[in-house]
C-alpha cells in the first residue's frame, strides 16, 4: 500500500446529497451536498457550533434563573430557539458545499436560501447528525 491509500480528506469533502424538502415535506427533486462529519471543515464547524451554543446558554443563564423563579420559561425558550436557529444557519453555511439548483452555488446564495427557507438549516444539521451517528456505529 501507498501512503496516499490513507488520504481520506478529499472523500470526506465530497460528502453526500441531502434531498431538499418542500415546505409540505415532499421531495423537491433538488439536493444540497453536505460534507461528511469526518471532513476537517465539518469538525471545525461543529466545534465552533458547540462553543457558540454554550456561550448562548451562559449568556441567557440570568434569564433562565428568572424564568425558573417565575415557573414560566416562555421568554427563555423563545430566545434559545432564536439562538439555535442562528447557529444552525451558521453551521449549515459551513457544511454545505454544493447543490443541484439552477443558480450558481456560492456561499452568498446559500446564505440567501437559508434566510428565505427558515427550516432548511435545521434539515442540514439533522442530516449531518444522522451521518455522524452512522459513522459512529461502524
Report yes or no on 7 lying in a domain. no
CA proximity to 46, closest of 114, 119, 97, 95: 95
4-8, 13-17, 70-74, 98-102: the lowest-pLDDT one = 4-8
Q: Which domain holds residue 115?
A: 14-137
Residues 62-99 pLDDT 10s: 999 999 999 999 999 999 999 999 999 999 999 999 99
129: enclosing H helix or E strand? helix 120-137
Report yes or no on 131 lying in a domain. yes
Report yes or no on 98 lying in a domain. yes
Residues 18-40 pLDDT 10s: 999 999 999 999 999 999 999 99
- Output the nine-digit C-alpha cell for 136: 459512529
Report yes or no on 122 lying in a domain. yes
Q: For the chain, what is the domain count?
A: 1
Q: Give the torsion sign (CA, 122, 125, 15, 44).
A: positive
Burial environment of residue 85 by CB neighbours within 10 A (0 to 12, 13 to 18, 19 or more): middle
Report yes or no on 31 lying in a domain. yes
The per-residue pLDDT for 4 is 79
Question: What's the CA angle centered on 36, arms 35 and 37, to 5 degrees?
Answer: 120
Mean pLDDT, residues 46-70: 97
- Contact partners, residue 26, CB within 8 Å, separation at least 6: none
123 has pLDDT over 90: yes
Report yes or no on 6 lying in a domain. no
Provide the strand spans (E) within the chain: 16-21, 27-34, 96-99
Report yes or no on 81 lying in a domain. yes
Report yes or no on 26 lying in a domain. yes
The per-residue pLDDT for 8 is 82
Amino acid at each position: 500500500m501507498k501512503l496516499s491509500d490513507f488520504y481520506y480528506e478529499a472523500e470526506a469533502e465530497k460528502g453526500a446529497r441531502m434531498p431538499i424538502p418542500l415546505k409540505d415535506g415532499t421531495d423537491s427533486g433538488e439536493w444540497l451536498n453536505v460534507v461528511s462529519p469526518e471532513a476537517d471543515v465539518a469538525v471545525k464547524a461543529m466545534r465552533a457550533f458547540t462553543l457558540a451554543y454554550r456561550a448562548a446558554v451562559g449568556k441567557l443563564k440570568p434569564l433562565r434563573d428568572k424564568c425558573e423563579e417565575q415557573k414560566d420559561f416562555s421568554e427563555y425558550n423563545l430566545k434559545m430557539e432564536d439562538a439555535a436557529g442562528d447557529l444552525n444557519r451558521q453551521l449549515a453555511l459551513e457544511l454545505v458545499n454544493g447543490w443541484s439548483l439552477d443558480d450558481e452555488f456560492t456561499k452568498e446564495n446559500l446564505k440567501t436560501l437559508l434566510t428565505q427557507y427558515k427550516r432548511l438549516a435545521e434539515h442540514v444539521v439533522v442530516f449531518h447528525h444522522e451521518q455522524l451517528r452512522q459513522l459512529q456505529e461502524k
